[in-house]
Amino acid sequence: MERIKTAIVGASGYTGQELLRLLLAHPNVELVAATSRQEAGKPLSAVFPRFRKLPGADLPFMEPDPDAIAATGAKAAFLALPHGVAAEIARALLQRGLKVIDLSADFRLRDAAVYEGFYDHPHKAPELLAQAVYGLPEIRAAEIAKADLIASPGCYPTSIILPLIPLLKARLIDPATIVANSMSGVSGAGRKADLSLLFCECNESARAYGIPKHRHLSEIEQELSLAAGEDVVITFIPHLIPVNSGIASSITAKLRPGAAAAAVGEALAAAYADAPFVRLLGQGVCADTKNVTRTNFIDIGWAHDARTGRIILTSAEDNLGKGAGSQAIQSFNIIFGLGETAGLQLA
Protein backbone atom coordinates (compact mmCIF):
# COMPACT_ATOMS: atom_id res chain seq x y z
CA MET A 1 0.00 0.00 0.00
CA GLU A 2 1.28 3.47 -0.88
CA ARG A 3 2.24 5.41 2.21
CA ILE A 4 0.21 8.53 3.02
CA LYS A 5 2.17 11.76 2.77
CA THR A 6 1.70 13.57 6.06
CA ALA A 7 2.70 16.87 7.72
CA ILE A 8 3.03 17.96 11.32
CA VAL A 9 2.54 21.68 11.90
CA GLY A 10 4.13 22.69 15.19
CA ALA A 11 6.40 19.67 15.56
CA SER A 12 8.88 20.94 18.13
CA GLY A 13 6.68 20.91 21.25
CA TYR A 14 5.97 17.94 23.52
CA THR A 15 2.91 16.84 21.53
CA GLY A 16 4.75 17.45 18.26
CA GLN A 17 7.60 15.27 19.48
CA GLU A 18 5.14 12.51 20.34
CA LEU A 19 3.61 12.76 16.88
CA LEU A 20 7.09 12.53 15.36
CA ARG A 21 7.90 9.45 17.43
CA LEU A 22 4.79 7.65 16.25
CA LEU A 23 4.57 8.83 12.65
CA LEU A 24 8.22 8.15 11.83
CA ALA A 25 7.53 4.51 12.70
CA HIS A 26 3.99 4.31 11.27
CA PRO A 27 3.94 1.69 8.48
CA ASN A 28 1.42 3.63 6.38
CA VAL A 29 2.88 7.14 6.72
CA GLU A 30 5.53 9.08 4.85
CA LEU A 31 6.37 12.18 6.85
CA VAL A 32 7.01 14.93 4.29
CA ALA A 33 6.79 18.10 6.38
CA ALA A 34 7.44 19.12 9.97
CA THR A 35 7.21 22.79 10.83
CA SER A 36 8.81 24.94 13.50
CA ARG A 37 9.64 28.61 13.20
CA GLN A 38 12.36 28.32 15.82
CA GLU A 39 14.00 25.19 14.39
CA ALA A 40 13.47 25.79 10.64
CA GLY A 41 16.32 24.39 8.56
CA LYS A 42 17.54 21.93 11.19
CA PRO A 43 17.06 18.17 10.68
CA LEU A 44 14.60 16.46 13.03
CA SER A 45 17.45 14.34 14.39
CA ALA A 46 19.47 17.43 15.32
CA VAL A 47 16.66 18.87 17.43
CA PHE A 48 15.57 15.49 18.81
CA PRO A 49 18.65 13.20 18.89
CA ARG A 50 16.50 10.26 20.01
CA PHE A 51 15.33 9.93 16.39
CA ARG A 52 18.82 9.52 14.89
CA LYS A 53 19.03 6.76 12.28
CA LEU A 54 15.26 6.39 12.08
CA PRO A 55 14.07 6.51 8.46
CA GLY A 56 12.90 10.04 7.76
CA ALA A 57 14.71 11.63 10.70
CA ASP A 58 16.92 13.72 8.40
CA LEU A 59 13.87 15.68 7.21
CA PRO A 60 14.53 19.37 7.98
CA PHE A 61 12.08 21.48 9.92
CA MET A 62 10.40 24.09 7.71
CA GLU A 63 8.45 27.30 8.19
CA PRO A 64 4.68 26.80 8.63
CA ASP A 65 3.74 28.14 5.20
CA PRO A 66 0.52 26.57 3.84
CA ASP A 67 1.68 26.71 0.22
CA ALA A 68 5.00 25.05 1.07
CA ILE A 69 3.25 22.37 3.10
CA ALA A 70 0.80 21.64 0.26
CA ALA A 71 3.70 21.55 -2.24
CA THR A 72 5.17 18.54 -0.40
CA GLY A 73 2.17 16.51 -1.57
CA ALA A 74 0.87 16.04 1.97
CA LYS A 75 -2.64 14.58 2.11
CA ALA A 76 -3.08 15.22 5.83
CA ALA A 77 -1.72 17.60 8.44
CA PHE A 78 -1.62 17.31 12.21
CA LEU A 79 -1.74 20.72 13.91
CA ALA A 80 0.12 20.71 17.24
CA LEU A 81 -0.24 24.45 17.77
CA PRO A 82 -1.53 26.64 20.60
CA HIS A 83 -5.20 27.56 20.64
CA GLY A 84 -5.84 30.72 18.70
CA VAL A 85 -3.02 29.91 16.28
CA ALA A 86 -4.34 26.74 14.68
CA ALA A 87 -7.60 28.08 13.21
CA GLU A 88 -6.17 30.20 10.41
CA ILE A 89 -3.67 27.62 9.17
CA ALA A 90 -6.37 24.96 9.39
CA ARG A 91 -8.52 27.04 7.05
CA ALA A 92 -5.60 27.52 4.64
CA LEU A 93 -4.75 23.82 4.53
CA LEU A 94 -8.37 22.78 4.05
CA GLN A 95 -8.57 25.17 1.11
CA ARG A 96 -5.55 23.37 -0.38
CA GLY A 97 -7.26 19.99 -0.12
CA LEU A 98 -5.59 18.51 2.97
CA LYS A 99 -7.32 16.60 5.72
CA VAL A 100 -6.67 18.47 8.98
CA ILE A 101 -6.42 16.93 12.44
CA ASP A 102 -6.19 19.77 14.94
CA LEU A 103 -4.87 19.05 18.42
CA SER A 104 -5.56 22.55 19.74
CA ALA A 105 -8.87 23.64 21.24
CA ASP A 106 -9.82 25.77 18.24
CA PHE A 107 -12.47 23.44 16.77
CA ARG A 108 -13.64 21.42 19.76
CA LEU A 109 -16.54 23.69 20.68
CA ARG A 110 -19.64 24.06 18.54
CA ASP A 111 -20.43 27.59 19.70
CA ALA A 112 -18.03 30.46 18.91
CA ALA A 113 -19.43 32.46 21.85
CA VAL A 114 -18.61 29.66 24.28
CA TYR A 115 -15.11 29.49 22.80
CA GLU A 116 -14.62 33.22 23.35
CA GLY A 117 -15.94 32.93 26.91
CA PHE A 118 -13.41 30.26 27.84
CA TYR A 119 -10.43 31.28 25.69
CA ASP A 120 -10.74 35.07 25.99
CA HIS A 121 -10.57 35.96 22.30
CA PRO A 122 -12.91 35.71 19.30
CA HIS A 123 -12.70 32.56 17.20
CA LYS A 124 -10.65 33.10 14.03
CA ALA A 125 -12.55 30.68 11.79
CA PRO A 126 -16.10 30.36 13.17
CA GLU A 127 -17.44 29.26 9.78
CA LEU A 128 -15.55 25.97 10.21
CA LEU A 129 -17.03 24.99 13.58
CA ALA A 130 -20.05 23.24 12.08
CA GLN A 131 -17.74 21.24 9.80
CA ALA A 132 -15.40 20.00 12.54
CA VAL A 133 -15.92 16.55 14.04
CA TYR A 134 -14.99 16.03 17.69
CA GLY A 135 -12.45 13.27 17.25
CA LEU A 136 -13.19 10.79 20.00
CA PRO A 137 -12.85 7.52 18.05
CA GLU A 138 -14.76 5.36 20.53
CA ILE A 139 -17.82 7.61 20.20
CA ARG A 140 -17.67 9.11 16.68
CA ALA A 141 -15.80 6.71 14.41
CA ALA A 142 -18.43 6.90 11.65
CA GLU A 143 -18.31 10.71 11.56
CA ILE A 144 -14.50 10.76 11.74
CA ALA A 145 -14.28 8.47 8.70
CA LYS A 146 -16.04 11.08 6.52
CA ALA A 147 -14.47 14.23 7.99
CA ASP A 148 -12.05 16.74 6.51
CA LEU A 149 -11.49 18.53 9.83
CA ILE A 150 -11.01 16.71 13.11
CA ALA A 151 -10.97 18.47 16.47
CA SER A 152 -8.94 16.05 18.53
CA PRO A 153 -10.11 16.06 22.18
CA GLY A 154 -8.22 17.51 25.10
CA CYS A 155 -6.35 15.32 27.56
CA TYR A 156 -8.50 15.97 30.62
CA PRO A 157 -11.77 15.69 28.63
CA THR A 158 -10.80 12.28 27.22
CA SER A 159 -10.15 10.94 30.72
CA ILE A 160 -13.52 12.18 31.98
CA ILE A 161 -15.83 11.85 28.97
CA LEU A 162 -15.08 8.21 28.13
CA PRO A 163 -15.96 6.82 31.60
CA LEU A 164 -19.11 8.95 31.89
CA ILE A 165 -20.78 8.80 28.47
CA PRO A 166 -22.08 5.20 28.74
CA LEU A 167 -23.56 5.91 32.17
CA LEU A 168 -25.26 9.11 31.02
CA LYS A 169 -26.70 7.44 27.92
CA ALA A 170 -28.05 4.61 30.08
CA ARG A 171 -29.46 7.16 32.58
CA LEU A 172 -27.70 5.46 35.47
CA ILE A 173 -26.30 8.58 37.14
CA ASP A 174 -27.62 12.01 38.07
CA PRO A 175 -25.72 14.54 35.89
CA ALA A 176 -26.14 17.30 38.48
CA THR A 177 -23.98 15.38 40.97
CA ILE A 178 -20.87 14.83 38.82
CA VAL A 179 -17.55 15.90 40.34
CA ALA A 180 -14.27 15.21 38.51
CA ASN A 181 -10.83 15.50 40.09
CA SER A 182 -7.90 15.05 37.69
CA MET A 183 -4.12 15.02 38.08
CA SER A 184 -1.77 15.71 35.16
CA GLY A 185 1.92 15.50 34.49
CA VAL A 186 3.85 18.69 33.82
CA SER A 187 4.14 18.09 30.06
CA GLY A 188 0.45 18.94 29.84
CA ALA A 189 1.36 22.60 30.18
CA GLY A 190 3.45 22.51 26.99
CA ARG A 191 7.11 22.99 26.19
CA LYS A 192 7.71 26.55 27.32
CA ALA A 193 9.65 28.64 29.82
CA ASP A 194 7.36 29.27 32.80
CA LEU A 195 8.44 29.88 36.40
CA SER A 196 5.60 27.75 37.77
CA LEU A 197 6.78 24.77 35.70
CA LEU A 198 10.43 24.78 36.75
CA PHE A 199 11.69 21.59 38.39
CA CYS A 200 12.08 23.14 41.83
CA GLU A 201 8.55 24.54 41.64
CA CYS A 202 6.91 21.23 40.62
CA ASN A 203 9.03 18.54 42.26
CA GLU A 204 7.78 17.30 45.65
CA SER A 205 4.60 19.30 45.07
CA ALA A 206 0.96 18.81 44.10
CA ARG A 207 -1.46 21.64 43.56
CA ALA A 208 -4.87 22.42 42.12
CA TYR A 209 -5.08 25.09 39.42
CA GLY A 210 -7.46 26.54 36.87
CA ILE A 211 -10.43 26.58 39.25
CA PRO A 212 -13.34 27.03 39.07
CA LYS A 213 -13.36 27.39 35.25
CA HIS A 214 -10.57 25.47 33.56
CA ARG A 215 -10.76 25.83 29.78
CA HIS A 216 -11.32 22.12 29.23
CA LEU A 217 -14.54 22.35 31.23
CA SER A 218 -16.23 23.80 28.15
CA GLU A 219 -15.72 20.74 25.95
CA ILE A 220 -16.34 18.32 28.84
CA GLU A 221 -19.77 19.84 29.51
CA GLN A 222 -20.55 20.07 25.78
CA GLU A 223 -19.93 16.36 25.18
CA LEU A 224 -21.59 15.18 28.40
CA SER A 225 -24.65 17.29 27.57
CA LEU A 226 -24.90 15.69 24.12
CA ALA A 227 -24.69 12.23 25.69
CA ALA A 228 -27.24 12.99 28.41
CA GLY A 229 -29.69 14.81 26.15
CA GLU A 230 -29.82 17.70 28.63
CA ASP A 231 -27.54 20.44 29.88
CA VAL A 232 -24.83 19.03 32.14
CA VAL A 233 -22.83 21.27 34.48
CA ILE A 234 -20.10 19.64 36.56
CA THR A 235 -17.42 20.52 39.08
CA PHE A 236 -13.94 19.94 37.62
CA ILE A 237 -10.78 20.32 39.69
CA PRO A 238 -7.48 19.77 37.81
CA HIS A 239 -4.18 19.26 39.65
CA LEU A 240 -0.53 19.42 38.62
CA ILE A 241 1.62 16.54 39.89
CA PRO A 242 5.41 16.02 39.63
CA VAL A 243 5.54 13.47 36.81
CA ASN A 244 6.46 14.03 33.17
CA SER A 245 3.26 12.64 31.68
CA GLY A 246 0.08 10.83 32.59
CA ILE A 247 -3.40 11.79 33.74
CA ALA A 248 -5.35 10.16 36.55
CA SER A 249 -9.00 11.14 36.97
CA SER A 250 -11.38 10.26 39.78
CA ILE A 251 -15.02 11.00 39.03
CA THR A 252 -18.02 10.64 41.31
CA ALA A 253 -21.75 10.84 40.68
CA LYS A 254 -24.89 9.65 42.46
CA LEU A 255 -26.84 6.74 41.06
CA ARG A 256 -30.32 7.62 39.91
CA PRO A 257 -33.13 6.21 42.08
CA GLY A 258 -33.75 2.60 41.09
CA ALA A 259 -30.47 2.23 39.17
CA ALA A 260 -28.45 -0.85 40.09
CA ALA A 261 -24.72 -0.52 40.69
CA ALA A 262 -24.05 -3.65 38.64
CA ALA A 263 -25.50 -1.88 35.61
CA VAL A 264 -22.47 0.44 35.61
CA GLY A 265 -20.12 -2.37 34.66
CA GLU A 266 -22.61 -3.66 32.11
CA ALA A 267 -22.95 -0.24 30.45
CA LEU A 268 -19.19 0.22 30.21
CA ALA A 269 -18.73 -3.27 28.78
CA ALA A 270 -21.45 -2.78 26.19
CA ALA A 271 -20.04 0.58 25.10
CA TYR A 272 -16.42 -0.48 24.76
CA ALA A 273 -16.52 -4.19 23.91
CA ASP A 274 -14.97 -3.51 20.51
CA ALA A 275 -12.81 -0.51 21.46
CA PRO A 276 -9.17 -1.58 21.03
CA PHE A 277 -7.72 1.13 23.27
CA VAL A 278 -10.18 1.09 26.18
CA ARG A 279 -9.23 -1.35 28.93
CA LEU A 280 -11.96 -1.95 31.50
CA LEU A 281 -10.49 -2.93 34.85
CA GLY A 282 -13.79 -3.90 36.47
CA GLN A 283 -15.29 -3.16 39.84
CA GLY A 284 -12.94 -2.34 42.69
CA VAL A 285 -9.81 -1.84 40.57
CA CYS A 286 -8.25 1.63 40.34
CA ALA A 287 -6.53 2.88 37.19
CA ASP A 288 -2.80 3.65 37.43
CA THR A 289 -0.83 5.97 35.14
CA LYS A 290 2.24 3.72 35.17
CA ASN A 291 0.30 1.21 33.06
CA VAL A 292 -0.66 3.64 30.29
CA THR A 293 2.18 6.11 29.78
CA ARG A 294 3.67 6.00 26.25
CA THR A 295 0.62 4.09 25.01
CA ASN A 296 -2.75 4.92 23.44
CA PHE A 297 -4.68 3.04 26.12
CA ILE A 298 -7.12 4.45 28.61
CA ASP A 299 -7.77 2.27 31.66
CA ILE A 300 -11.12 2.60 33.47
CA GLY A 301 -12.13 1.14 36.82
CA TRP A 302 -15.15 1.74 39.02
CA ALA A 303 -16.58 1.19 42.48
CA HIS A 304 -19.89 1.68 44.26
CA ASP A 305 -19.99 3.56 47.57
CA ALA A 306 -23.13 2.15 49.16
CA ARG A 307 -22.88 4.62 52.07
CA THR A 308 -23.32 7.66 49.83
CA GLY A 309 -25.04 6.10 46.84
CA ARG A 310 -22.22 7.34 44.64
CA ILE A 311 -20.41 5.66 41.78
CA ILE A 312 -16.65 6.27 41.76
CA LEU A 313 -14.96 6.05 38.35
CA THR A 314 -11.19 6.10 37.90
CA SER A 315 -9.32 6.48 34.65
CA ALA A 316 -5.69 6.76 33.55
CA GLU A 317 -4.15 7.78 30.24
CA ASP A 318 -1.04 9.42 28.85
CA ASN A 319 -1.78 13.13 28.30
CA LEU A 320 0.64 13.15 25.33
CA GLY A 321 -0.76 9.85 24.00
CA LYS A 322 -4.45 9.05 24.30
CA GLY A 323 -4.87 12.62 25.46
CA ALA A 324 -3.14 14.09 22.42
CA GLY A 325 -0.81 12.63 19.76
CA SER A 326 -1.69 8.96 19.57
CA GLN A 327 -5.44 9.62 19.77
CA ALA A 328 -5.07 12.01 16.82
CA ILE A 329 -3.32 9.23 14.89
CA GLN A 330 -6.17 6.87 15.81
CA SER A 331 -8.51 9.31 14.02
CA PHE A 332 -6.06 9.57 11.09
CA ASN A 333 -6.18 5.78 10.76
CA ILE A 334 -9.98 5.86 10.60
CA ILE A 335 -10.05 8.67 8.02
CA PHE A 336 -7.74 6.79 5.66
CA GLY A 337 -9.36 3.39 6.11
CA LEU A 338 -6.43 1.85 7.93
CA GLY A 339 -6.71 -0.54 10.82
CA GLU A 340 -7.57 1.57 13.86
CA THR A 341 -4.49 0.32 15.69
CA ALA A 342 -2.01 0.89 12.81
CA GLY A 343 1.22 2.34 14.14
CA LEU A 344 -0.14 2.36 17.69
CA GLN A 345 0.12 -1.23 18.91
CA LEU A 346 3.54 -0.61 20.45
CA ALA A 347 3.01 3.07 21.14
The catalytic residue positions are 155
Of 84, 111, 102, 81, residue with least CA distance to 221: 111
H helices, E strands: number in the chain: 11, 13
Contact yes or no for 234/180 (Cβ under 8 A): yes
Of 89, 234, 247, residue with least CA distance to 183: 247
Give me the count of residues in the chain. Answer: 347
Distance CA 61, CA 38 (A): 9
Of 2, 110, 8, residue with least CA distance to 329: 8
Find out whether the peptide bond into 49 is cis, omega within 30 degrees of 0.
no
Q: Collapse the DSSP code of 273 into the 3-class scheme (helix H, G, I; strand E, B; otherwise coil) and give the result.
A: coil
